[in-house]
Amino acid sequence: MNPLELQIGYKFQDPILLAEALTHPSISSGHESFPFANQRLEFLGDSVLQLVVTERLFALFPNSSEGQLTKLRAGIVSRDNLKNHAAAISLGRYLMIGHGEDINGGRTRASTLADAFEALVGAVYLDGGLEHSRRFILQQIQSDFEKLLQDSKKSNPKGELQEVLQSISQTIPEYILLSQGGPEHRKHFQCSVIWKRRELGRGTGHSKKMAEVAAANAALVNRAWETPLTPAS
């Protein structure tokens, strides 16, 4: 295995595919008869990458809308993000690139690295099939999914609270509407979150859902489940 294959944990059956993935179009300016460049593999790899990322996001975020999933996917497959993943495996150092492009910083350019990463995905797909390309992609971008999951917990206090409480007991929290009022165009609601007959927090909002989220936030701040109940005298 060559150093890049060792780096990515994949041995090519057809080394020509790897060579093609690493060949920048600028190489043809100095080698008119050069047989290939990585643009076609980049085109293929882009589609494979989109499929694998979409598939994983669909599984990880079952309650997210199409628009939300589209936004998450756009961040993962963005040029800057792919450039970072290409840099993480030192992909630029392995590129066959024209002299002029090289001296002008082509090996570290975001577009060059992102395109090469997609071409590498395409090459793995043609060489080993979808399962190998899926394994390669998920191995490289696992940190992206982990960050999204962490961020989703921060923006989903009800889910975070339920996860914390269910690590203690199978009893789930219950949200109680305490009051509602105000004119139709500006209603306000107050909710309480109850767990094991104990109020953990209260919150208000312009909708019942917003009040429940505020109550969950208050509960996460108060962490009342950690304080023992005082026995009645």
Question: Which token pair is 13?
Answer: 């059956």
How far apart are alpha carbons 103 and 175 in whole angstroms?
63
Catalytic residue of the set 20, 46, 101, 115: 46
Would residue 144 show up in a list of annotated catalytic residues for this protein? Answer: no
First-last CA distance in the chain: 75
Take residue 5 and report the two structure tokens written for it.
């294959």
Buried/exposed code over 179-192 (b: 16+ C-beta within 10 A; e: otherwise): eeeeeeeeeebbbb
**Catalytic residue check, 20:** no
3-state secondary structure of 173: coil
Report H helices in the chain.
Answer: 3-8, 15-21, 39-60, 66-76, 79-88, 91-94, 99-103, 110-128, 130-154, 157-166, 208-222
Catalytic residue, chosen from 42, 101, 115, 118, is: 118
Distance (Å, rounded) from C-alpha 19 to C-alpha 13? 12
| Active site positions, annotated | 46, 118
